[in-house]
Structure 1
Amino acid sequence: MTRPAWHILREDGALTLARRLPARFDFGAEAAFPRVGRLRLARQIRQDMWRALQSLRGFAPVVRVEITGDGVQVRAGGQVDGNFPRQRASDTVAALLQDPAHRARWIAHADGGRHG
């Protein structure tokens, strides 16, 4: 079995990890993180976001990690074709991005890949 293709776009200090192109945010949330490996951070967030929203039919995750002055700004969410509970999906992602246990694990993992 082959692994599904994930698109990794790098542009102007930002990295976007998306299941489909063009990457589209029908919903999402943002959070600031310390400067760590962008790709490692994006992958960890994408995995946990998928676990939280896998029952959302037609969901295609998108995570964008952009370098800021002293850290990175993450926008996580994604694309959903059709009707879906937009506010509930946004709230789920926002809660995930602010969860202290998830943040600690993501940062610890991504800190090993500072250059990503």
Structure 2
Amino acid sequence: MARKGWHILKDEGRVTVTRRLPVRFDLSVEAELPCARTVSLTRVAQQVRQDMWRRLQDLRGFAPAVEVSRSEGGLVIRAGGALADPVTGRVRDSLADLLESPTHQARWIAHAGRRSHG
């Protein structure tokens, strides 16, 4: 399903939000996010996508993609997307810092725990 130019793909226990299909992860960073409560995977993916876009919006030819799946201890987030040009270590490090940020993680979980589905 496309929503405002974003494709939201749902599988059992996994949601992917992407700008383009097919989904490509030329740039890819993963992080595990502890989460003991039930949250909306779609909301987590949307929040990560927004923060990732704010951080990487000057990256030419970048088409964001975020995949969120459930794990035993919480959530696994894969963020990145399609790139027109090769990525530098600085860009990968910046994205990894975002995914590991306790402040961002807490906000994502708080937002995703509000009444919703997905």
TM-score, L = length of structure 1: 0.88
Q: In terms of mean alpha carbon deviation, does 62-71 or 27-36 score higher?
A: 27-36
Q: 1:60 aligns with which of 55, 58, 63?
A: 63
Q: CA deviation at 1:92?
A: 1.1
- Corresponding residue for residue 72 of structure 1: 75
Q: How does 1:31-110 map to 2 (within 5 A)?
A: 31-33=31-33, 34=35, 35-81=38-84, 83-110=85-112
**Aligned mates of 2:87, 2:24 — CA distance in 1:** 17
**Identity rate of aligned residues, in percent?**
50
Amino acid at match of 1:11: D
Find the residue that maps to 2:5 and give its secondary structure: coil
Q: Which runs of 4+ in 1 moved over 3 A?
A: none
Q: CA deviation at 1:67?
A: 1.4
- Corresponding residue for residue 17 of structure 2: 17
Amino acid at match of 1:94: A
Amino acid at match of 2:11: E
Amino acid at match of 1:104: A
Q: CA deviation at 1:89?
A: 1.9
- Corresponding residue for residue 6 of structure 1: 6
**Aligned mates of 1:14, 1:74 — CA distance in 2:** 10
Q: In terms of mean alpha carbon deviation, does 57-66 or 5-14 score higher?
A: 5-14
Aligned residues: 113
Write 1 or 2 for the structure with the bigger share of helix: 1
Q: CA deviation at 1:71?
A: 1.5
**Aligned mates of 2:59, 2:43 — CA distance in 1:** 24
Amino acid at match of 1:8: I
Query: Where in structure 1 are there 5+ consecutive unaligned residues?
Result: none
